[in-house]
Amino acid sequence: MPGWPHTREGLIEEQLLLATLVPEPWLLEPSSRVGGVFVCFPRGPSGAGQAGDPAWAAACVGEETVVVTGYAGAAYEPGLLALREGELLEAAVRALTQPLDVLVVDATGRDHPRRAGLALHLGAVLDLPTVGVTHRPLGAEGKWPEDERGARSPLMLEGDLVGHWLCTRAGTRPLAVHAAWRTDPATACEVVLSTCHARTPEPLRRARRRAREARARNPGAQS
């Protein structure tokens, strides 16, 4: 079963393995409970950050929200984000007591040099369908869609459709929505649109707010 290697070599190997797995496809239903998870780090100029940086992670589903604190596992490096925040995100989701059917993560999924971004990795570890949402793609490319809620355009990586640019709200920049663990690009968009009032899907928005609130209430208390 997948886990969180602590070295670059180990993670790369794990990602290559994850990319070969073919989990049962998951489909969104009206009754599906959508959760979100988000992690933040200390404010201030810190570039890519460093291993050991204090971190606050929040997860939510329905009315429940939980916050856990910990430390970054590594500095940020494109393609190796799991090394920095994988374990903490998992801890936050496991702290939830209410059940969830799908999780929205601020990371890519299939859009990754080894086709196993953090959103996909987290889903495999938790055995839970996931969807990735980021401000921009990691390696995939595609032109923006029309500025109309629900409009989407393909995000392609080496000839494969790995996600979509999705306009979640007119007048705002589109979101990069990623197929991840047990989800395809179309389902990922359905999940995001079904929970979107503002630009960001509500579960992710709430998790982000709670994580930042926790940081504000406890600044530097774990440095």
In the complex, the residues that contact DNA under the rule CB under 7 A are 38-49, 76, 78-82, 84, 106-108, 112, 117-119, 132, 134-139, 208, 212, 215
Sign of the alpha-carbon torsion through 170, 174, 179, 180 = negative
Query: How many Å apart are CA 48 and CA 223, to the nearest integer?
Result: 17
Min separation Cβ 38 and DNA, Å: 7
Q: How far apart are CA 135 and CA 151, in angstroms?
A: 16
Nearer to DNA, 68 or 82 (CB): 82
CB of 141 to DNA, least distance (A): 9
Q: How far is the CB of 210 from DNA (least distance, A)?
A: 12
Q: What DSSP line would sit under 7-29, residue for residue?
A: SHHHHHHHHHHHTT--PPP----
Q: Which is nearer to DNA, 34 or 207 (CB)?
A: 207
Between 31 and 198, name the residue whose CB sits nearer to DNA. Answer: 198
- Are 176 and 155 within 8 A, CB to CB? yes
CB of 30 to DNA, least distance (A): 28
Nearest to 17 by CA among 113, 114, 105, 82: 114
Nearest residue (CB) to DNA, 152 versus 208? 208
